[in-house]
Structure 1
Amino acid sequence: MKLHLSLVSLSIITALFPLQTFADDAGFEVIEVNGQHQGSYSAVTPEAAKPKTDISGLLNNLPGASVNGNGPLTGIAQYRGLYGDRVNTQVNGMTLSSAGPNAMDTPLSYASLILTERLEMTRGIAPVSAGTNTLGGSVQVIESQASFDEVSGKVAAQYQDNGQRSHIGAKGNFANEQHAVLVYADMLNGNENVTTGGDQTISPTTYDKNMFGGQYRYHLGDNSSNDSISIGYQHLETTDAGTPALPMDIDFIKTDRVKLEGNHDLNDWEVNWHLAYSDARHGMDNFNERMKMPTMNARYNNAESQSYDAAFTFAKNSWLFGFDSQLSEHNSVISDPTKPMFKVDNFNAVIDNTYSAFAQWQQEIGQWQWELGARVKHYQTDADEVYHSMSSSMPAIKVLMDRYNNADRSQQQTGLDLVINGRYSQTEQLSWIVGLARKQDSASYQQRYLWVPMQSTGGLADGRTYVGQMDLDLETAYQIELGSEFQTDSFSLNPRIFFQRIDDYIQGVAATDPAVIMAAQMMGDDNPMQFANVDAQLYGMDVTASYQLNSNWFMDMNASYIKGERRDIDDNLYRISPPKVNIGINYQLNSWAARLETLAVSAQNEVSESQLEQTSAGYALINISVSYDADNWLVKAGVDNLFDTEYEDHLAAYNRVMGGDLTPGQRMPGTGLNTWVTGEYRF
């Protein structure tokens, strides 16, 4: 229950175990206090983890969280079995749309490695203040902000041997009492394809990504005032990046983002606001990074999006209020470079707007800490007519095109979220946690407006073709969580169990429309899918624990189990993270730290038959690392997958590339032995 936009609020970071014992992959608990509002979050810092090509990789360190990986730069957040748009994902407090209809430029791909201070996740039921759509939880990337009266900076670099991957980044803060300037830049390169434990090449997994930006902040009022206003800018450019689990690879992504924000204290009210704009352009194809078989048609997709994000929050004592909106327009056109007359409107002027308001109250009553919140949100969607150059020669496509163009494509829906979170402090060491919620979420624009069978599904990566449904109902989830926190000077244990029943859950079902089936068969798919409302439920448990053996040694554990299933038929939900446990043994002596960890992942046999999902086998990996952290510099080195184990990553989907070491349609294998080194200098 915090004001994410506040730059003048007090942040108090505490851990389940002493701060000086943080090592490599250990996540930690954050207690944030903003005005009179506080909440508990799980978090991990880039410095505390092994090297990542994309900030989404840090999610694997947090309880209940995972990553649907469609490529080295294309990680989609998953929390307790829900993923994609259901997980509220913000970078620097902004919710801005991606350009790619297949989520190649995921929200987390816009986070700067050098600028990120931590990746933060609301554990359990997210409060209404966390964001508009939090049915699947809330993930925040907390980035450095321009700070007054400070001159500081950092230069960081990393290198990974498997794939010849490198990162160089730098940031600097230059300020006096009135003006503050923050500048930063990242350069990321993957020069070779990565290899598996079985010495197979995963192709294509190369990439080239650059990002730079800055922020200027002006101090309003006198020195005792916390008022300020700022403007920030970011430019991102990615080229020649592989996404082997998708039908195309990234040719380019060019995105410019601007954010204007303010923080004010007005008559004991803490007021925060921002206005943000994003202009994203994206090109993708099936022939530059991968082999195109002679029987395949060349395809190029030009996509673009413009989006706006606005938020206004104000807090006083136990109350927090807010208004926000997200407005976006999406366009996507598919062409064939060898056939100039070929053109398909994948999405044409799709409008996806949301307006919402919330109120949240928090109060201590005896030994209880209560949080109650409500959010009302209004969804507006629309789209222009579409065109397919082959409609004149393919009757099925002509039927689908005319049906779509003649339909009333404008949709409006209103949703309501209600949340109650409670914490009972039985003793100084033991607390009990309870949460209840009713949450709603709207369909993605792909689920509504994908009019002809295609794989532009927001990153499902199941190899199936889909069509949308304009009048999909809101998903409605009823959530409950129970848990406890036990902590002594040397031991901590934090288990949570959860259950949610989701009415009108949106997923693909077998298409029955003859025109859809005929159009899909023309493109080589005999089993197309259509997005529809079904009934589902998810339940499971995640737990963290730590034990301080002595002043130098401690152990930590992070484990989770998730079960997702349909309620209307006997089937499981698609792409659910398998049960897993990560156990680490850590050693710390002065500036030296070392970690030995075991990641054990169970087989996933409870898969979606409706989506022809394949099972995956269990595996165990050993990772080691050592670091030296001086006053102003840090060096760390390690080896992941020490024994070069061959394994399948269930959330990495399936290989879509022909002509390589991997068979098309087989489960994507994981990365083999990977040695790495990182370093940073701080001033």
Structure 2
Amino acid sequence: MKCILSAGTALIALATCPLLAAAETPDPALQDVIIVTGHRTTTATDTALLPEAAPMDGMDITRLIARTPGAARIGNGEMSGQMQYRGLFGPRLNLRIDGHSFASGGPNLMDPALHYAPTPLVAAVHIDRGISPVSEGPGIGGGADAVFKKTDYANSSEATLGYDLMIGGRTVNDSLSTGGIIGASTDTWRANLLGAYEEGGDTAYKDGTIGGSEFQRSIQGLSTGLRTDLGEFSLDWRRHNTGFSGNPPFGMDIRFVDTDVVKASYEKSFGDILIEASASYTDAAHGMNTYDLRPAMMRREALAYAITRKADISATFPAFGGRLQLGADTAEEDHNIHVVEPENLDNYVYSLPDIVIDRYGAFAEWTGTLGAFNAELGLRVDEYDGKGGTAIFGEDASMGQKMLAASYNASDRRADATTVDAAARLWRPITDDLTWRITLARKPRAPFYLEWFQWLPSGSSAGLADGNIYLGDPSLDPEVALIAETGFDYVTENAYIRPTVYIRQIDDFIQGTPFDDTPGVADSLEEMMASMHGSAAALLRFTNVDARLYGFDLDAGMDLPGRLRADAVLSYVRGERRDLDEDLYRIAPPSLTAGLTWEGDLWSATFETRAVAEQDKVSQTLQEAGTPGHVTLSLYGDWQVKDGVRLSAGVENLLDQITRDHLSGYNRNAYGDVAIGTRLPGAGRGAFVRLSFVG
């Protein structure tokens, strides 16, 4: 069944259109979710969102994710937004696209994981509450899976046609977004084409425009499945092409991202044993430069390539009064990045040459009843082996680059790590309306390839966009987090509330720290090279420190007299260094989003308020600036025109407030009206409209 939501009820989509597990299975926490109209039951470990039901406040799916408890968006460009979840982001989260994870093309994550999930193609986003199951792979924080639309198998041998399409636009940047799927199926085969196209100009705000914030992206692909006596086979292919797209907080903008994704899967039940396997290949080519979308004192182009090869297999069967899944997986990431001066092709350097990270993992995950609780218990072991190739450079590369390259080439250029995950997620239904839950876990993360192998001082930082210069360290240890969280879900036909409190004690947390004991004094070759990036840039080395993250979040809502309904999301997270009296870097401030909805039979209207507190808990080591709080008002409407046709529209930021999101970077593009070095503002007042067709 397809959930029909108003824009207002979609404020908290997981409550107004939540999940039901398959009725025949006693443990709903581990089941594929089914969006069902008219129910507010939730599972203990998984929540879901419906992108089509949310306000169209941008092309990036992370804008939708940021509307959930504990989540926020890091805005590095319209095509480059990252998800932050309870203070963690980037490589620390287990992010999947249609159940599949792969390496981004570039070192600054201009194409982060969710870049590959355009809203017109996404059916739902599943959020891993608190932590991800070990069966989904490694990751120190929670995670998310953006599930693509696809034509499902039909109930008969006669072919059935279907489609799910949308078109929409926004005035704040004159943008267009359109796409969807068209396909056919029987009870033994399914196939659908998919495609999307999005483009927009510079984003407007009250005092002008944000220069170099335009974007363009297109995607095409195919999804197929075949059921036979030998099992079910599926094959998915997508081609992603991103054109000129701005990244104002970075030193460069996207010139292109051309990525091919191919995944083959197999599934077969042998009595009580379910066998699942998949293999995938992803090839991302990424070009970026300093001059197409901004004025440039120095013209530079960077070309980055990332190839990901993955394979996995698992068996699930009855054991110990529940279901046990045993699995193994492997992944190989190849990265190669070089920087060149376009007018002088002899001035180049391979800044991250032939970096290869191999990972081999195995896991066991059991679900069943443990005393008075339903339980998911997991154990996972991963072995990492990283190595760097030989740094090469052109004849006209600087002497400093040549000397640092020689030092890097003379080093061992290898790194390795072994990580062990252990997780216990427990939940207990007390009544039909109330479920208590608790999570205890040990979750590690191996260093990102930049953190291990970046030998040339560079602004590449996996999307931190802080203007600082970073160096890696092959001796870095993996991060290890001890996690505890608890909360409850109280859900009735007329009201719901789902609070959670949590703490993460992280040993060997990886963060940039001053390169030496004399920051600001260029008394080393590395610091002299870093000073070429500007006097405001600090040279930092990725280092193991100790950290703590703790917080509280909830979503809640209730029916009011008549046709009114109220919904709200509250998020609070605090990050601290444990080895210093200092706050962690780039942590989202407390926020509250609340909406009041009038629900008609076929239409609805929502008045929404978003309040964001000031953030003065900032990192002194990283010279992080605080941000003031702000409040914005928006109005949305939704009309079910007829079966299969739906129209949504609204006005965002009604009072045209100038907002400074703490997670946005600092502007480095001299075009437009935002001063260099100031935090980028949010979008000004603008209208959106979206039309959807399903059949």
Query: What range describes the TM-score normalised by the shorter chain of this pair?
Result: over 0.9
Judged with a 3 Å threshold, the aligned counterparts in structure 2 of structure 1 residues 271 and 144 are, in CA distance, closer, same or farther, namely: farther
Confirm or deny that 1:75 pairs with 2:81.
yes
| Equivalent residue in structure 1 for 2:360, among 355, 358, 372 | 355
Selected match of 1:161 from 148, 171, 186: 171
Report the CA distance shift for 1:43/1:261 in structure 2 as closer, same or farther (over 3 A): same
Decide whether the 8 Å contact of 2:170 with 2:689 is kept in 1. Answer: yes
User: Against the structure 1 CA distance between its residues 646 and 542, is the aligned structure 2 distance closer, same or farther, given a 3 Å change threshold?
Assistant: same
Other structure's SS at 2:119 match: coil
Task: Say if 1:445 and 1:59 are closer, same or farther in 2 by CA, change over 3 A.
Answer: same
1:193 equivalent in structure 2: 202
Q: Which residue of 1 aligns with 2:653?
A: 641
1:601 aligned partner: 612
Q: Which residue of 2 aligns with 1:571?
A: 582
Once residues 485 and 449 of structure 1 are traced to their aligned partners in structure 2, the CA distance between those partners, rounded to angstroms, is: 44
**Paired residue type of 1:527:** A
CA distance in 1, matches of 2:80, 2:109: 7
| Contact 1:35 1:315 (8 Å CA) reproduced | no
Alignment of 1:499-648 (within 5 A): 499-512=503-516, 514-525=524-535, 527-550=538-561, 552-629=563-640, 630-648=642-660
1:31: Cα distance to partner?
Answer: 4.6
1:332 deviates by: 0.8
Matches within 5 A, 1:315-330: 315-317=316-318, 318-330=323-335
| Alignment of structure 1 residues 384-395 onto 2, 5 Å | 384-389=389-394, 394=399
Indicate whether 1:257 and 2:228 are aligned. no
Tell me the CA shift for residue 328 of structure 1. 1.1
What residue identity is the alignment partner of 1:200? G
- Matching residue of 1:297: 298
Letter in 2 for 1:374: L
Change (3 A) 1:590 1:13: closer
Aligned to 1:3: none
Q: Give the distance between the partners of 1:109 and 1:412, measured in 2 at CA.
A: 29
Deviation track 1:321-352 (CA, whole Å, cap 9, x = no partner) reads: 22222211011110011222210112111001
Whether 1:314 and 2:325 are equivalent positions in the alignment is no
User: Out of 232, 237, 244, which is 2:236 matched to?
Assistant: 232
Contact 1:26 1:48 (C-alpha < 8 Å) held by counterparts: no
Residues 537-562 of structure 1, C-alpha deviations (whole Å, 9 max, x = no match): 00000011111114622111100100
What CA RMSD, in Å, does the superposition of the two structures yield over aligned residues? 2.0
CA distance in 2, matches of 1:171, 1:659: 38
Residue identity in the other structure for 1:594: A
Cα distance in 1, alignment partners of residues 20 and 354 from structure 2 = 43
Match among 420, 428, 431 for residue 427 of structure 1:
431
Q: Is the 8 A contact 2:597 2:605 kept in 1?
A: yes
User: Residue type of the partner of 1:103?
Assistant: L
Match of residue 180, structure 2, among 170, 173, 194:
170
2:73/2:82 contact within 8 Å kept = yes
Tell me if 1:120 matches 2:120: no
Report deviation, 1:74.
0.3
Q: CA–CA distance in 2 between the matches of 1:141 and 1:368?
A: 29
- SS of the equivalent of 1:431 reads strand
- Aligned equivalents of 1:287, 1:633: Cα separation in 2: 43
Query: What letter corresponds to residue 220 of structure 2 in structure 1?
Result: F
SS in 2 for 1:500: strand
* Residue equivalent to 2:520: none
Q: 1:344-365 deviations in whole A, cap 9, x for unaligned?
A: 1121110012111111112224
1:9 maps to what in 2? none
The correspondence of residues 208-223 of structure 1 with structure 2, limited to 5 A, is 208-221=216-229
Residue identity opposite 1:108 in structure 2? L
Question: 1:606 deviation in Å?
Answer: 0.5
- 2:276 corresponding residue in structure 1: 272
* 1:619 Cα deviation after fit: 0.3
Residue 651 of structure 1 aligns with which residue? 663
1:202–1:661 Cα contact (<8 Å) kept = yes
Residues 152-205 of structure 1: CA deviation (Å, up to 9, x unaligned): 102210010011011111311212233211111101010x21111x33210111
Structure 1 counterpart of 2:12: 26
Residue of structure 2 equivalent to 1:478: 482
**Cα shift readout 1:369-410 (whole Å, capped 9, x = no counterpart):** 12211011111111101134479853x444422221111112
Contact 1:625 1:639 in 2 (8 A): yes
Per-residue deviation, residues 243-290 of structure 1 (Å, max 9, x unmatched): 111110011111111111112111211222211111111110010011
| 1:453 alignment counterpart | 457
How many Å separate the matches in 1 of 2:372 and 2:596?
A: 35
What code does the residue aligned with 2:184 have?
A: F
Distance 2:374 2:562 in 1: 33
- Is residue 636–residue 650 contact of structure 2 (8 Å, CA) maintained in 1? yes
The one-letter amino acid paired with 1:309 is: K
Residue in structure 1 matched with residue 189 of structure 2 by the alignment: 179
TM-score (normalised: structure 2): 0.91
Q: SS where residue 404 of structure 1 aligns? A: helix
The alignment of Structure 1 onto Structure 2 pairs a total of residues equal to: 658
Gaps of 5+ in 2: 30-42, 155-159, 517-522
Distance, in Å, in 1 between the alignment partners of 2:104 and 2:257 is 10
Q: Tell me which residue corresponds to 1:205.
A: 213
Tell me the SS of whatever aligns to 2:452. Answer: helix
Give the SS at the match of 1:576.
coil
Q: Distance in 2 between matches of 1:307 and 1:365?
A: 38
Q: Who is 1:5 aligned against? A: none
CA distance in 2, matches of 1:348, 1:38: 46
Pair 1:37–1:306, CA change in 2 (3 A):
farther
Shift of 1:112: 3.5
Aligned letter for 1:333? H
Shift of 1:233: 0.8
Q: Secondary structure at the residue paired with 2:91?
A: helix
Q: Which runs of structure 2 are paired with 1:364-383 in the superposition (5 Å)? A: 364-365=369-370, 367-383=372-388
Letter in 2 for 1:211: I
Matched, 1:469 2:479: no
Alignment partner of 2:277: what SS? strand
Shift of 1:100: 1.0
Instruction: State the Cα distance separating 1:37 from its structure 2 match.
Output: 5.1
Paired letter, 2:655: F
Could you say which residue in structure 2 is the equivalent of 1:667? 679
1:163 corresponds to which letter in structure 2? N
Corresponding residue of 1:245: 249
C-alpha separation in 1, matches of 2:401 and 2:161: 61
TM-score (norm 1): 0.93
Counting only pairs closer than 5 Å after superposition, residues 131-146 of structure 1 correspond to structure 2 as 131-146=136-151
SS at structure 2 position matched to 1:405: helix
Asked if the contact 1:21–1:588 (Cα under 8 Å) also holds between the matched residues in 2, the reply is no
| Equivalent runs, 1:493-504 vs 2, <5 Å | 493-504=497-508
